[in-house]
Structure 1
Amino acid sequence: MEKVVYMDYAATTYTKPEVLEEMIPYFTEHYGNPSSVYSISRDTRKAIDLSRDRVSKAINCERNEIFFTGSGTEADNWAVKGVAFANFTKGNHIITSKVEHHAVLHACEYLEKHGFEVTYLDVDEEGFINLEELKNAITDKTILVSIMFANNEIGTIQPIKEIGQICRDKKVIFHTDAVQAVGHIPVDVKEMNIDILSLAAHKFYGPKGVGALYIRRGIKIDNLIHGGAQERAKRAGTENVAGIVGLGKALEIAVDKMEENNATLIELRDKLINGLMEIPHTRLNGPKGDKRLPGNVNVCFRFIEGEGILLSLDDANICASSGSACTSGALDPSHVLLAIGLNHERAHGSLRLSIGDGNSEEEVNYVLNVLPGIIDRLRNMSPLWHDFIKKGES
């Protein structure tokens, strides 16, 4: 196949043409600073308000509970650090899981250096936390529980409503990193008992460099960024108007088309999984069915390195990843795969194929046609594979 087959939508999506079209005037015509008082600034202020309305409608909250940020990572950091420092007099204990995105894990590690205690919950072999373990971990010092909505590597969708109810009953603030979930699966912050939620535009066909944080009215949270009075004095810095416009438009489209898109994605996802599982010594990471993100496929091939797979796929014009794009330069195996019980050798042989709106059945068939040969070739070069064969013969 001559064209590039992009299957790394969990890392980032393209910006849809209709989203870009709505953004362009805010680079060239409606360029006023939203904090100024003249008419062209009122235009940009209205555009931001419209996006706030679109986001609030998408997740079922009030418009003044949405605050725009520069990324999902910023939103996660603001949620974790902001709640911790604002509620330090009530307690210093935070609960999260071992499979969170590094934006949450590294924020928690930072807080541990500043007098906070963090409990990192284990997960089962499919990536789910244990609700009883969560209940038992909450103490009178617990001020925050942060559990991601859906895992960026293995696609596990946590029982968010139940987690939120536990936190509500225990009067503990509940934050969820929903960067991989919003725009892809239904999210209702009221029904799901969510107090704080992070999202990012470039995961649902919006622009990079813009995100948002939902903060339920009445939640006590410190500012992360200090300066001017933007975002109702909660997040300083001149607003990225075009980015915010794009976020709102992209999310509106994603929610409107969600059911239709997911039906297609699930069909392609399951075809891809079933085909890959025909390759010997292959393991599916994460759950099956409706507890998995519609576009997520993550497998491990024994006896080979994920890096070699990715380079070979790139030669075949296929874009994929071995895990989170934020750790693609790291040599260590995925912390998520280690947390679900894989050893280092198996975790190193991981491949994540995340499909999206731009993919077709033809492309899935192409990947399934190319990959078995790549795996065979790499295994034939692997000492681990030859040792396995010798042991099998002896």
Structure 2
Amino acid sequence: MSNTPNLNIPMPDPSADVDDEFYRLQQAWMLVDEALFQLIAAVAGKSNTGHTHAIDQINGLVSALQNKMDANKAFKIGDLADVVGSADAALNYVLAKNNDGKFSFASALSVLGNHDHSIAQVVGLADALNARLLKSGGSMSGILQLGFDYPQLWFGNSQTGTGWRIIKDTAQGSVGALVFQYSTDKWNQSYNSVMFFGPDGRARFINKLEAQSGLYVAGAVEFGAELYLQAALEIGNTNGTAGVALIDFHTSATVRDYNCRIICDSNANDGNGLGTMNILAGNLMWNGNRLISMWDRATAADIAAGTANKFPDAAAVKVALAAQVPFTSGQQTITNGGQLVIAHGLGSVPGNVSIQLVCVAADKGYNVGDIAFYPPMLVGFNGNAYGMTPVIDATNITLRISTAGFAAQNKTNGNADVLNSANWRLVVKAYP
């Protein structure tokens, strides 16, 4: 027996008995009836394929369309939310974006601000200039006359406003001065005067004259402030001709040849650093500091020997003083029967050695911090030898400590007593 492929309804069986087929047919029709019933119920809730609806039959469509504009609506620029002030904008104003992201109207000149144009961008400017001056690389004759009042020449960057200008500082009809100025912002008339030529023909520098390589002056130059040199200041002849080099100082109200003078004279033994320097002055004051000479400089040996006519040198004095400073060791732990090797650093065999015992814990009447001087020798007491034997050389102080340790007077009663080595530390002093 087989079934239908979709709803699995039993199919007639040709080989079966008619009675059996009758019951099978009843079962099949029940399944067909159920399938048709479900189909009719499902189709009953559907619309026809070609059906229509009125707008008011669609939920929310009317209210949604009311919030929409007509397809043929025309906009004005002022209707845009990001555009401000369109109704108040003057004729020929342009639209520009502001820092807040919105757009407003302003004149084209105010939008562009300060700006530059090349000569080629200005109609007729090139022809107008060529009619008066030759192009770059050419030459001109005659006199270039600049304006009437405060004429000037500008050399700089037209974008940043930095550069130089040369300007006559007085109006027409007076000689005035020719001033050289540096500008960091010519748009705001920010200029710094550097130097000028006065009516007397002298060059004057407002701040500093910096000569990075060389400066040759045939006559007098007047400096109102300071002369700054990054290299050497050479005074005198450098052409092989012997002579005198000098510097004059003028300080008095009365005009004099000089108030103070420094002179370098040539001599038969002239050479680098061998000329004779003369200072012509009333008093020579050295700011309270030392005047140091490298001639006849004393060594440490000279200082130790007291050699006459030797100028003390700081390094030599330090060495000489160091030779006189005693050596003091740190506190050494005492081990009975042990040995201490201590480097003294004096550079020679000490002339004298002293031993100190420092109390670090109360013992035999001594308190913490008490210092007892101990002879550099063995002490006999109660059938034992106490103390140490020092051996010295140019490098070390070697102490061999007795196996019995150290004996000393009891601080309380004065009787002989044996110290507890654990309660004491040993300090060595060595003298040159």
Which TM-score band applies after superposition, normalised by the shorter structure?
under 0.3
Larger radius of gyration: 2
The structure with the largest strand share of the pair is 2
Work out which structure has the larger RCO, using CA pairs closer than 8 Å and 6 or more positions apart in sequence: 1
The structure with the largest helix share of the pair is 1
